[in-house]
Amino acid sequence: MSFTLHKYEKLCSRTAIDELFRTGSSAVAYPLRAVFTIRNDGNKASRFFISIPKKKIRTAVQRVLLRRRTREAYRLNRELLAPIASVDGRTVDIAFLYMDKEIADYATIELKMKTLLKRIADSGIDAQ
């Protein structure tokens, strides 16, 4: 498996993001929250979006640090979503939201990311 994150794996469309938050399911592994929808449209990759609220993390440097840590944890562990992709070309749109006011270390973020991705994969398999 390639560990490269491509442009087509990023959820950038405003309408797609609005649709995700309007119709998506939610899972929490504090300090991360994931809002996700499972799509059947046959796109080749799952798409993700990361949000670190300015209200919780005041400085841009800290928000960028958390965004990098979250992106790296997703990049290294996204193969946990493979069971969903094996079912009829399903893919997932995911938004990761950071909820804590404190800066979490990478080990914590990665552990919680694995938990979230496993939950999303399990709900995708159950939705068959």
Q: Is residue 1 one of the residues assigned to a domain?
A: no
Q: Is residue 99 one of the residues assigned to a domain?
A: yes
pLDDT above 90 (res 49): yes
Q: Is residue 2 one of the residues assigned to a domain?
A: no
**pTM of the complete model:** 0.92
Look at the chain and report how many structural domains it folds into: 1
What local confidence, expressed as pLDDT, does residue 90 receive? 86
Please tell me the least confidently modeled range out of 56-70, 78-92, 100-114: 78-92
* Residue 12's CATH number: 3.30.230.10
State how far the alpha carbon of 72 is from the alpha carbons of 67, 88, 101, 112, 118, in Å: 9, 28, 20, 13, 17
Grade residue 1 by pLDDT with cuts at 50, 70 and 90.
low
Rounded CA gap, 96 and 88, in Å?
25
Q: Is residue 45 one of the residues assigned to a domain?
A: yes
Q: What angle do CA 11, 13, 19 make, to 5 degrees?
A: 90
Domain interval for residue 15: 7-123
Q: Is residue 111 one of the residues assigned to a domain?
A: yes
Rounded CA gap, 47 and 38, in Å?
10
DSSP 67-101: HHHHHHHHHHHGGGGHHHHTTTT-EEEEEEEE--S
Grade residue 43 by pLDDT with cuts at 50, 70 and 90.
low
Q: Is residue 128 one of the residues assigned to a domain?
A: no
Q: Is residue 63 one of the residues assigned to a domain?
A: yes
Q: Is residue 95 one of the residues assigned to a domain?
A: yes
